[in-house]
Structure 1
Amino acid sequence: MPDTPTAREVKHIRPAPETRVFNPAAVVASCVGFVLIGALQALYGPAIPAFRDAHDLSPSAAGLGLSAHFIGGVVGVLLFDRLFGRMGNRRILGASYLLMALGAAGFALAPNWPAGLVAALLAGLGFGGIDYGLNQLFAVGFGHRSTAMLNILNAHFGIGAILGPALIAAVGAEHYPALFLAFAAANLPLLLCLRGVRDQVSPPASAAPATTTAPDAARAPATAAGGSVLGRSLGSVLAVFVALYVLHVGIEAGVGGWEPTHLETVGYGAGAAATATAVYWLMMTVGRFLVAPIALRHSPQTIITVSCAGMTVCLLLASVPSLAPYAYAGVGLFIAPIFPTGLPWLNAAAPRARRAGALVIAASMIGGVAAGPALGKAIEWSGVRAVPLLLGAVSAVCLAATLWLIRATRSSSGSP
């Protein structure tokens, strides 16, 4: 099989030595930072009706706000990856916090929609730097505990994603500028905790040279047995991983952004719809906590397959109005493990691609970029009631991609 040489290399990867990167205060501040980026991303959806009214926007135009945020996020991820190891971590993280604060404040105070989109782009740039930067530093900063710490870090993203819509429900969507301003201000105290972050961190030991990038690894012939076969295998595996991440984040953003509008269309009140969206983000957080013990007994492939299948079923059930709030909660539960569980699977399948993680994290944000206008345009054609069916079709593609990856990486991951 073409993936056999990859399997041989995976077996010889040694774990990175433990490197202290954060003091306890910086760990707490990093978790708070993830609460803030989760809240910021989740605020856009429940606020859509309010800024549609304020700026007289169509559904697709309103969806551009979240898209601008994700475009900035992609740039932030790629920029941090380029600067990682070249500039001080404190400086990069500090700039990211400041950019997110400025962008959120600008979005709240924007006099017109073009200015709001620029501000959302700026906030997204800081969002991407914090998202990738802290994930990368947590991955190398806790030795054998890094996987557990990454799960804890990303769970705090879910806490923020719950908090944002809950606050919108409490104060009313028309007051979204005040909430964006509050979260902008909350970034500033975190700058004081950056003194507890190690400024320079050596990259972990790898099977590949430090200068090898994910695209290079996919194109270049491997030195191990299998040669160009390994290169082609890695290229295909990386491409499908990217597709899986793009599509599942598109679903995540699509549900978070359009669930309130869909529920209001089928008869629920604005407050109930915003609360249901908060429950959706709550179930994402619960799912990430629940997957930790499950992962001790089941492979990433099994977990992601079940997640994609369950997500697809729940989205189909969400087309039934009486079941919709509960079905969306189920979507949150099933989609939760995909992002963190897919990264270890990717690392095992493509050990030579040192920057594969940056590649899929950046590419995943493309799903968020495309979800707003694409789903908005589809809604204009088919109506808001079709939202769960449209997303269910995308989820079915995620399931197909997962099944392909299982077959393609069976040898490299040691699956039966």
Structure 2
Amino acid sequence: MVASCAGFVLLGALQALYGPAIPAFREEFGLGPSAAGLGLSAHFVGGVAGVLLFDRAFGRIGNRRILGASYLLMAVGAAGFALAPSWPVALVMALLAGLGFGGVDYGLNQLFAVGFGHRSTAMLNILNAHFGIGAILGPALIGLVGAGHYPAVFLVFALANLPLLLCLRGVSDEVPPSAEEEPRGQVLGRSLGSVLAVFIALYVLHVGIEAGVGGWEPTHLQTVGYGAGLAATATSAYWLMMTVGRFLVAPLALRFTPQTIITVSCAGMTVCLLLAAIPGPAPYAYAGVGLFIAPIFPTGLPWLNRSAPRARRAGAVVIAASMAGGVVAGPALGKAIEWSGVRTVPLLLGAVSALCLTATLWLVRATRATRSR
């Protein structure tokens, strides 16, 4: 468990390292802004592929080998990115690191979702909270040593993966009983197919909000009159509250159902985004968004596993969709802002959050009907 949490710290750090290192990429390889941004895009593409690829191997070659191979891919990819002689090679290495990233992300989330019984929701929130710790520490490390020394940071990250290979003995190689009992080739019925589709929509939309606030909060706050320093601090507070929120919800998950937690989270997120449209409370409202959005990703997985047949495959699709949502959210929100202006950012995101709440309420009713049948 400790090694898994350390692995999630590394996941958060890896994803967050690319952004602060972009100035150094551009200078070293002579890149424009869009070309430099391809590093993170390659990472996400590799992440989606890693989730789907290792889902196919799940139960065939053993969970321990899947996680071990994923850690090695992350290490090799990060080291290759640090030492790449050209930008095309660096992109291939970022893709390779993303492949391992997806395998670890999917593998640990799935094992925690099925491995702790009624405590799975609490444990998943604790696990994913460590992702936030890494996402905070990664940029801080780049800021400490300077963007020009990013190769050394990526090499340190690569080496940090290796000790985790020694901590995989506690991982069972057996397929979880719930997956074994399901007949192979079973096709989702119409109602459960709809449930899976709405789960995917919920994950894509909430990840879009997460990425949208992280990307546009500083610009929005400066547009309504705040200074650049305060806007940056408020954005850091947003990410910090996401991490704190997952730790806080862990004990609550032992008393309340995932349905209740996600419903309250979506409602609170919507209210906070509407408040963020008012300049005065906006920085505090964005911090509230971070607090409320925090439990949705880890809390939804146990709910999905209990509601849909072939839950393991459904979990892989949902995690992959959430990564794809992070890629699509930026351009889609940017186009909407071009039409309506920066001041409408919280209202646009609030509308998306209202869709998340609607999807959640539909899922509460649909999964209750499924259980009664």
Structure 2 length as normaliser, TM-score?
0.84
Shift of 1:341: 1.7
CA distance in 1, matches of 2:363, 2:304: 10
Q: Give 1:349 shift.
A: 2.2
Question: Residue 241 of structure 1 corresponds to which residue in structure 2?
Answer: 199
**Corresponding residue for residue 33 of structure 2:** 57
CA contact (8 A) 2:118 2:254 kept: no
Alignment identity in percent?
82
Q: Which amino acid aligns with 1:209?
A: E
Which letter does structure 2 place at the counterpart of 1:299?
T
Higher relative helix content: 2
- CA deviation profile, 1:61-96 (whole Å, cap 9, x unmatched): 665443332221111111111111211333322221
Question: Residue 73 of structure 1 corresponds to which residue in structure 2?
Answer: 47
Taking the aligned partners of 2:279 and 2:75, their CA distance within structure 1 comes to 38
Q: Cα gap change, 1:243/1:144 in structure 2, threshold over 3 Å: closer, same or farther? A: closer
Give, in angstroms, the shift of residue 163 of structure 1.
2.0
Any idea what the Cα deviations from partners look like across 1:2-31, whole Å, max 9, x if unmatched?
xxxxxxxxxxxxxxxxxxxxxxxxx32221
Out of 236, 241, 252, which is 1:294 matched to? 252
Q: Tell me, yes or no, if the aligned pair for 1:44 and 1:257 is still in contact at 8 Å.
A: no
Q: Partner of 2:177: helix, strand, or coil?
A: coil
Residue of structure 2 in register with 1:407 after alignment: 365
Query: Are 1:279 and 2:253 matched, yes or no?
Result: no
Change (3 A) 1:173 1:401: farther
**2:101 aligned with 1:127:** yes
Output the CA distance in 2 between the equivalents of 1:186 and 1:305: 38
CA distance in 2, matches of 1:173, 1:391: 32
Aligned to 1:201: 174
CA distance, structure 2, for counterparts of residue 270 and residue 188 of structure 1:
39
* Cα distance per residue 1:147-171 (max 9 Å; x no partner): 4433332222222123234445555
* Residue 241 of structure 1, CA deviation: 0.6
Question: In the alignment, is the contact (CA less than 8 A) between 1:165 and 1:275 conserved in 2?
Answer: no
In the TM superposition, residue 269 of structure 1 has moved relative to its aligned partner by 6.3
Which runs of structure 2 are paired with 1:7-406 in the superposition (5 Å)?
27-45=1-19, 55-58=31-34, 64-108=38-82, 114-142=88-116, 145-168=119-142, 170=144, 176-194=150-168, 196-198=169-171, 200-205=173-178, 208-212=181-185, 216-218=186-188, 231-260=189-218, 262-263=220-221, 273-351=231-309, 353-378=311-336, 386-406=344-364
Give the distance between the partners of 1:271 and 1:371, measured in 2 at CA: 25
Kept in 2: contact 1:69–1:124 (CA 8 A): yes
Closer, same or farther: CA 79–117 of 1 in aligned 2, 3 Å: same
- Amino acid corresponding to residue 306 of structure 2 in structure 1: A
Tell me, yes or no, if the aligned pair for 1:45 and 1:260 is still in contact at 8 Å: no
The unaligned stretches of length 5 or more in structure 1 are 1-26, 219-230
Q: CA deviation at 1:236?
A: 0.8
Work out the CA distance in 2 between the residues paired with 1:346 and 1:38: 24
Structure-2 separation of matches of 1:267 and 1:46: 25
CA distance in 2 between partners of 1:381 and 1:140 (Å): 44
Distance 1:309 1:179, change over 3 A: farther
SS in 2 for 1:409: helix
**Greater RCO, 1 or 2 (C-alpha within 8 Å, sep 6+):** 1
Displacement of 1:397: 1.8
Distance 1:343 1:155 in 2: 15
- State the Cα RMSD in Å: 3.3
Do 1:240 and 1:405's aligned partners in 2 also have CA atoms closer than 8 Å?
A: yes
**After superposition, what is the alpha-carbon deviation per residue over 1:189-237, rounded to whole angstroms, capped at 9, x for unaligned?**
222333x24462232245952524xxx432xxxxxxxxxxxx1111111
Count of paired positions: 370
